[in-house]
């Protein structure tokens, strides 16, 4: 389908916005925020034009970039990448609308955020593996500076740890990419970096194992899978609210998307060979992450640790290598982005009022600040998978599908649902109900108009996906099934 450059426009409009904001005077924060929000909302509107992408790649763009090595500027979307692109374009204006707590450095904050949007959208649209790598690495830089410049007391440590982990994982991925380009040239006499062309390679089992391992390390760090998860709590806790939202909602999905789009299709035999070890790590992530969250007294750290558990569920769905589970995994990527992104937004709202995050620093939030308290209750129920809300559908599909092929792993991961309910409901009880724990907690202001505006689309998605998931499943299903068919599982 000829797209007339719609994907390029969606990808690079935020970069244009970053340039515009960079040249505006920093003395007028309202103008800075309004300009960034205008570009963010415009891009969200454009992203809705691709909503009907489904089983095959559409809105295809392809231009020669480095012809000598077959590297092209290739962009397209299908039912896997489309919802992630739209979610990326939704999250950024939500963050911009709630930047009133950012004082000095607002211009740099907005510029970094818009640059990151370009990188995130580019990752999900790229059909050339070199272009994918460029966008994948581009997302690292602005988040590093967001944490390092606007984070908490230990922000430099957290930013540096985040950078080291992700950079370390990217090196073997680059080696695997270059090796695949060389193998394609050896097999065909033609250089090509097209992901579709590289999927056609017939590599022996041992070679596939090495290629898969090169990609898997980078993606497992991004997910993150246990034991490569230790950077995540530090990054979340020290990051500013906007950094935590974008990290939870989008950045972690770069890992699971990379497995589904890159690692598994390019090394299908290795995907089968590595399935059991990955499932073991997924189960550990689900259970260990839940226990970590249960042990936390810091609200932000609790939500951060819960991400380890939830993303373990996604990995279970992918490596069960079963169509229903894989559809659930893709849906759960979106659900986690919506629910956990909303949790970090609400934690930021609470912190800006109290400047504390301890579970025992509040109490009675539903009575004191009704809108904020009710929003936190709804989002917590969404996170634990209450029927009628988005988390239920994804977890149900994952567990039902995984039980067909990996019943032991499915049963073990099901315990994570119970543990998730325990720690989230405990948090809700201590923060939202009872009586305020101190005088300051008894006089917290309720959500502002801007905060309600930012939260509204997220809560709408929670109910919409939970009550009517068919719209997304109709688009996700064919694209996921086509990848599993290539792996020999449908």
284 located within any domain = yes
Q: How confident is the model at residue 68 (pLDDT cuts 50, 70, 90)?
A: confident
Helix (H) or strand (E) holding 74: strand 71-77
Query: DSSP per residue over 387-423, as a string?
Result: TTSHHHHHHHHHHHHHHHH-HHHHHHHHHHHHHHHHH
User: Average of pLDDT values for 275-301?
Assistant: 91
pLDDT 10s digits, 399-431: 999 999 899 999 998 888 889 899 999 999 888
How many percent of the chain have pLDDT more than 70?
98
pLDDT of res. 129:
94
pLDDT in tens, 185-205: 888 888 888 999 898 888 889
Overall residue count recorded for the chain in this entry: 490
**Separation of alpha carbons 344 and 353, rounded Å:** 14
Is 366 among the domain residues? yes
Higher-pLDDT residue of 446 and 126 is 126
Classify residue 185: in a domain, yes or no.
Answer: no
- List, for residues 142-187, the tens digit of each pLDDT value: 999 999 888 888 889 988 898 888 888 889 999 999 999 999 888 8
- Can you name the residues that pair with 77 across neighbouring β-strands? 58
b/e code 105-114 from CB counts within 10 Å (16+ = b): ebbbbbbbbb
Within 8 A by CB and 6+ apart from 206, the residues are: none
DSSP state at residue 298: B
And the tokens for 315? 């990995």
Structure-token pair, residue 251: 């950045």
Tokens of residue 61, six digits: 């763009």
DSSP state for residue 128 in the 8-state scheme:
B
- Is the pLDDT confidence value at 489 over 60? no
Range of weakest confidence among 72-76, 117-121, 151-155, 485-489:
485-489
Q: What's the pLDDT band for 389 if we cut at 50, 70, 90?
A: very high
| pLDDT > 90? residue 279 | yes
H/E stretch holding 59: strand 58-66
Identify any residues that bridge with 173 across adjacent strands, giving them in sequence order. none
Q: Compute the C-alpha angle 475/477/480, nearest 5°.
A: 115
pLDDT for residue 323 is more than 50: yes
Q: What's the average model confidence in pLDDT over 39-54?
A: 91
Mean pLDDT score, 425-442:
80
Domain assignment of residue 237, yes or no: no
Q: Please state whether the predicted TM-score (pTM) of the whole model is above 0.85.
A: yes
Q: Is residue 385 part of a domain?
A: yes
Q: Is residue 57 pLDDT above 90, yes or no?
A: no
Q: What's the whole-number mean pLDDT along residues 465-470?
A: 92
Helix axes 140-150, 106-125, angle to 10 degrees: 150
Task: Give the model's pLDDT for residue 355.
Answer: 78
Given a cut of 90, whether residue 219 has pLDDT beyond it is yes
Decide if pLDDT at 82 tops 60.
yes
For residue 441, pLDDT over 80 is answered with: no
Q: Is residue 206 part of a domain?
A: no
Average pLDDT along the chain: 89
pLDDT band of residue 490 (cuts 50, 70, 90) is: very low
- Checking if the pLDDT of 102 tops 80, the result is no
Q: What is the CA radius of gyration of the chain?
A: 22
Q: Which pLDDT value is given to residue 134?
A: 94
- pLDDT value for 2: 44
The answer as to whether 340 is a domain residue is: yes
- What are the backbone dihedrals phi and psi of residue 398, each rounded to the nearest 5 degrees, phi first? -60, -50
Identify the burial level of 64 via C-beta atoms within 10 angstroms of its C-beta, where 0-12 means exposed, 13-18 middle and 19 or more buried.
exposed
The count of domains in the chain is 1
The answer for residues whose C-beta is within 8 angstroms of residue 32's C-beta and 6 or more apart is 21, 24, 26, 106, 107, 110
Q: Is residue 463 part of a domain?
A: yes
Residue 226 token pair:
């246990």
What pLDDT sits at residue 55?
Answer: 75
Please name the residue that has the structure tokens 């640059």.
115
> What's the confidence (pLDDT) of residue 4?
61
Containing structural domain, residue 379: 274-490
* Paired residues of 64 in beta bridges: 72
């Amino acid at each position: 389908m000829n797209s007339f450059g719609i994907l390029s426009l969606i990808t690079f409009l935020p970069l244009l916005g970053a340039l515009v904001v960079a040249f505006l005077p920093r003395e007028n924060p309202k103008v800075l925020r309004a300009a960034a929000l205008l570009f963010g909302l415009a891009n969200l509107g454009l992203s809705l034009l691709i909503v009907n992408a489904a089983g095959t790649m559409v809105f295809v763009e392809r231009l020669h970039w480095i012809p000598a090595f077959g590297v092209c500027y290739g962009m397209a979307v299908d039912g896997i990448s489309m919802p992630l692109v739209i979610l990326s374009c939704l999250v950024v204006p939500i963050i911009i609308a709630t930047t009133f707590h950012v004082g000095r450095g607002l211009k740099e904050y907005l510029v970094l955020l818009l640059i990151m949007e370009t990188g995130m959208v580019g990752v999900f649209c790229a059909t050339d593996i070199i272009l994918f790598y460029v966008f994948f690495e581009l997302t690292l830089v602005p988040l590093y500076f967001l944490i390092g410049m606007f984070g908490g007391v230990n922000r430099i440590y957290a930013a540096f740890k985040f950078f080291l982990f992700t950079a370390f994982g990217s090196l073997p991925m680059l080696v695997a990419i270059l090796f695949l380009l060389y193998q394609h040239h050896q097999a065909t006499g033609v250089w090509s970096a097209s992901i579709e062309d590289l999927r056609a390679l017939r590599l022996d089992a041992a070679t596939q194992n090495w290629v898969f391992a090169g990609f898997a390390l980078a993606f497992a760090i991004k997910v993150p899978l246990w034991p490569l998860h230790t950077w995540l709590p530090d990054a979340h806790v020290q990051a500013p609210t906007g950094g935590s939202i974008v990290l939870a909602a989008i950045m972690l999905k770069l890992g699971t998307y990379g497995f589904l789009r890159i690692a598994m299709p390019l090394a299908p035999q290795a995907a089968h060979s590595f399935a059991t070890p990955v499932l073991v790590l997924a189960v550990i992530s689900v259970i260990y992450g839940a226990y970590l969250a249960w042990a936390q007294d810091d609200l932000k750290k609790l939500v951060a640790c819960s991400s380890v558990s939830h993303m373990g569920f996604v990995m279970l769905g992918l490596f069960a290598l079963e169509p229903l589970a894989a559809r659930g995994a893709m849906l759960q990527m979106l659900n986690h982005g919506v629910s956990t992104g909303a949790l970090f937004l609400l934690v930021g709202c609470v912190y800006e009022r109290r400047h504390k995050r301890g579970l025992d620093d509040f109490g009675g939030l539903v009575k004191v600040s009704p809108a904020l308290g009710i929003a936190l209750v709804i989002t917590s129920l969404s996170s634990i998978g209450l029927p009628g809300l988005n988390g239920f559908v994804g977890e149900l599909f994952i567990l039902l599908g995984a039980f067909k092929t990996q019943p032991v792993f499915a049963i073990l991961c099901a315990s994570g649902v119970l543990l998730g309910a325990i720690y989230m409901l405990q948090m809700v009880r201590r923060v939202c109900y009872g009586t305020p724990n101190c005088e300051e907690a008894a006089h917290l202001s309720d959500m502002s108009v801007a905060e309600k505006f930012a939260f509204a689309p997220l809560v709408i998605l929670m109910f919409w996906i939970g009550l009517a998931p068919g719209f997304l499943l109709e688009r996700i299903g064919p694209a996921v099934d086509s990848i599993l068919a290539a792996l020999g599982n449908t």
